[in-house]
Structure 1
């Protein structure tokens, strides 16, 4: 996805990076819109989305975040894996013991 977007990019690298970061806000807004639509919270519109729509929008956030991360570093997968290990270790520290 990163390579495809780069092949269609006509912006300077720094501007492309900033725009990819802003794209995350757009995608998160679409998650919010889908949740509002799935719960029927807008009385004028009613129920306009499903929870499958919310899942799809969340996936778009993940893809967009990975593209942005890859734009920052060619080692995006390694950076994510290291961060997940850190989050997992932190979760084990704050989780109450089981048993």
Structure 2
């Protein structure tokens, strides 16, 4: 782990704080996982606000707002993984590896997504 990277210590601190504040029973862990969905809804709301798709509100968000909400989703998911007594850094690396193995070789996005034969 890169000691200058603030992400992983912050994930550990958030998990410890939640464990001490709320406990670690299955209901609490369920709520931590469901929190990812709540944060995803906020990201969707920010995107809708960026596009101005609510005529009553108009444009209410920026790309930076959307990015911040998406970062909340990612961070919340990492804390949920840690709360399951798993290594969120390893889970993220495994996910990246799985995704990379599915990407086509060579340049250009024209080969993606693959078309059924």
TM-score, length basis structure 2? 0.73
Q: What does residue range 67-86 of structure 1 map to in structure 2 within 5 Å?
A: 67-86=79-98
Q: Distance in 1 between matches of 2:106 and 2:47?
A: 34
1:64 counterpart = 2:76: yes
TM-score, length basis structure 1? 0.85
Q: Kindly provide the CA deviation profile for residues 5-40 of structure 1, in whole angstroms up to 9, marking residues without a partner as x.
A: 112115x52011100111111101101110111111
User: Aligned to 1:90, which of 84, 87, 102?
Assistant: 102
* Number of aligned positions between the proteins: 95
Shift of 1:96: 4.9
How well do the aligned residues superpose, as a CA RMSD in angstroms? 1.7
Aligned to 1:40: 52
Q: Kindly provide the CA deviation profile for residues 42-77 of structure 1, in whole angstroms up to 9, marking residues without a partner as x.
A: 000111111110000000000010011111133221
Unpaired segments ≥5 residues, structure 2 = 1-13, 109-117
Q: Distance in 1 between matches of 2:107 and 2:56?
A: 47
